[in-house]
Structure 1
């Protein structure tokens, strides 16, 4: 490639990078990008979707790129003469190496048809330089920070994650392509009406259309209502039926307890008998069969009892990167530790809730988190829970896209003479940011710690969102 020399003062490539080495760059690709833009104004429209001026390693190339983009924006004719005049007017011609350098750029490019390919090379080199810069900053922060170590680690991981997940040059898509994609989804889910991740409970999935990407779903209940069981049942349905990789963060139960519950639920075997070792040859075979199915289910379990939201986000990012998890389930929110500076528990839960919401958004997957309700349901005559019963912080209901409240009226009438048990646990969808609210009847099989859809009754729609739903 024939190219005029750039003055040293304008050429940032001559200096040493980190550790005395020249940072990653491709001067040839940069020159080809600019040459393509000079020869074909249409190439500018392609390149600007991929590159910014600071992606160029040479300062002179940054100047020329900004000049070409501005001229295109102003609908000016672009050729060697007009570019030279524009640079002269801005007193920048000598800084980029003079007219000879512009001529060399135009004559040195093989073809402007490859402008997008050249731009991708420039972008990739820029990403590598960003990674070096972030790595240097991580080292500096580790030496000089006044923050606690977990916060520094999270900032470091987030910085690298942002580089890895950069979607540079998001392109505009036509309505035709969108409609084609929509019909492909409709065909894929024909008869199911599920556009998100199915829970395995038909009426719930019909109400929500599945748990959607980026959603924070709260499953709240009073103690002994079965929220942990339902959380695990949902995870089991996702991983076994749909083979969707899921991650469970259990702050309340150990990994062994979770394994026993999964096995009892899937084999429909009495959990108490399993723990006591009361197993016949026939039931042993059933347990082995269930275990074989569960072994192939992509379920990842973290039973750290002392888990902060920063640690949750870091571990979930790794699992997403390594195993492409499609859902995160947390049991339960109020047990999470806090590592920041907020003093009141309400402020701490607010920060934890916001972190969980950010996790769902960043990983673009649903995050289902169990939460404890206060004594409000026990103190009112109907015992029906409300979102305002969410314990310690109103920010949970504000951050959540979906709030589900688990309610078993029979629990409040145990041993009460004359009371006729309903045998039904109501899963109340009290808030759904992008859909209707309603109630789904479930039956809890206590021996198996398993919820199943009720075979009787119908979903009772609540109509308009509840009065205390914060939209």
Structure 2
């Protein structure tokens, strides 16, 4: 561990609120460090900060647990604290650490190019090394030239795994029929979940978040613009513990509910779900996604609840234009950050997307929740997809007490005999 890395870790240990936002914006990530030890400690510090868990010497030592011995023990953390930089000097140390990372990347790229020279034409090798050098110069890891052969082999591998049933294209939503029709939630995908007021939009996205984070152990970031993180987690506890939300709300829980809730709390506490309910503007959302992605490189899904509450840059003349700009920006963010974005959107009384019809045009998958007249708990999830079948209906039943979603064998009639999307095919 270099002196500069020690200075950064010590600063992050003692002043995480001042240092971590800058470090992530500056491009300091776990893999920027030269060794597994500073990388693991930085990850532990950043993860605790995002989760608002105890930090400092004791908090990080506790979070690392048995791994601390393999990282040099408590002495490593003490050394970092003693060699800590002041927040005002972080830019200097960050530049040195990034410079070291760039040199290591360049050395690896040159080594790989040397090996390629034995099998690839000189022009191909030059193009690849030029792309990598440009990526290093820009401070980004994304720019990389891929040959058609690489892409074809990757696509064929995905197709083979889907054919033999061993792997779905994306992450599971927790609803089997929805997965079958969409192929799951894929990287770069922009999902819009639309529905009327109190139609179950937030409950559906919470169910998906639970499936991604708990069942598949993939990190999820939730921007709760309408619902606080406390309320969201309380609802998730009801789902995970299968406990009546109304009893939890009224304080009339049964004795058997408490052990269920405790078990649910234990599971949720370990889930890689991060919340931010104080960011309402597009720039803030993008900035915080980059911060979390730097700390959690495998961040899989970002949820925005909900779209019409998000503030754009403020340059649009009308609210409809502003929402259209926000929607396109979220779609672009999904592609640029290589993750899925799920945005919730409100429908008006006519079943149109409120304030902006263009939202549905941006979505790779739009899921419209339709109420059912004769079966109060029944819902129809009507799909519109850029790729795949459109107009497919997934019948489900929604348990309003535990916020669970289950398949329905038949397709009930929509409320008032109308379907919001059929008339706009």
TM-score range, shorter-chain basis?
Answer: 0.5 to 0.7
Q: Who is 1:48 aligned against? A: 126
Q: Deviations over 1:397-452 (max 9, x none)?
A: 21111111111133xxxxxxxxx4364111111x1110112111111111112322
- Is the counterpart of residue 409 in structure 1 residue 365 in structure 2? no
Q: Deviations over 1:164-188 (max 9, x none)?
A: 2332333342687347623663378
Q: Who is 1:248 aligned against? A: 222
* SS of 2:424 mapped into structure 1: coil
Q: Which has the higher contact order (CA 8 A, sep 6+)?
A: 2
Deviates more, 1:443-452 or 1:354-363: 443-452
Aligned mates of 1:468, 1:356 — CA distance in 2: 24
Q: Who is 1:107 aligned against? A: none
Q: Which residue, out of 364, 389, 406, partners 1:436?
A: 389
Q: How far 1:258 sits from its partner (Å)?
A: 0.8
Q: How far 1:307 sits from its partner (Å)?
A: 1.1
* SS of 2:401 mapped into structure 1: helix
Q: Who is 2:360 aligned against? A: 397
Q: Deviations over 1:357-380 (max 9, x none)?
A: 11111112221110011121xxxx
Q: Which residue, out of 312, 327, 333, partners 2:285?
A: 312
Q: Who is 1:288 aligned against? A: 262
Q: Is the 8 A contact 2:175 2:405 kept in 1?
A: no
Q: Is the 8 A contact 2:375 2:412 kept in 1?
A: no
Q: What RMSD over aligned residues (CA atoms) do the two structures have, in Å?
A: 3.4
Displaced runs of 4+ in structure 1, greater than 4 A?
23-26, 39-43
- Is the counterpart of residue 182 in structure 1 residue 158 in structure 2? yes
Q: Who is 2:294 aligned against? A: 321
Aligned mates of 1:248, 1:362 — CA distance in 2: 18
Aligned mates of 1:375, 1:176 — CA distance in 2: 46
Q: Who is 1:78 aligned against? A: none
- Is the counterpart of residue 375 in structure 1 residue 316 in structure 2? no
Q: Is the 8 A contact 1:214 1:363 kept in 2?
A: yes
Q: Which has the larger radius of gyration?
A: 1
* SS of 2:256 mapped into structure 1: helix
> Per the alignment, do residues 242 and 174 of structure 1 end up closer, same or farther by CA in structure 2, a change over 3 Å counting?
closer
Give ranges in structure 1 of 5+ residues lacking alignment: 1-18, 56-119, 132-162, 377-384, 411-419
How do residues 164-243 of structure 1 correspond to structure 2 at under 5 angstroms? 164-173=140-149, 177-178=153-154, 181-182=157-158, 185-186=161-162, 189-190=165-166, 194-243=168-217
* SS of 1:173 mapped into structure 2: helix
Q: How far 1:43 sits from its partner (Å)?
A: 6.1
Aligned length: 312
Q: How far 1:209 sits from its partner (Å)?
A: 1.1
Aligned mates of 2:127, 2:230 — CA distance in 1: 51
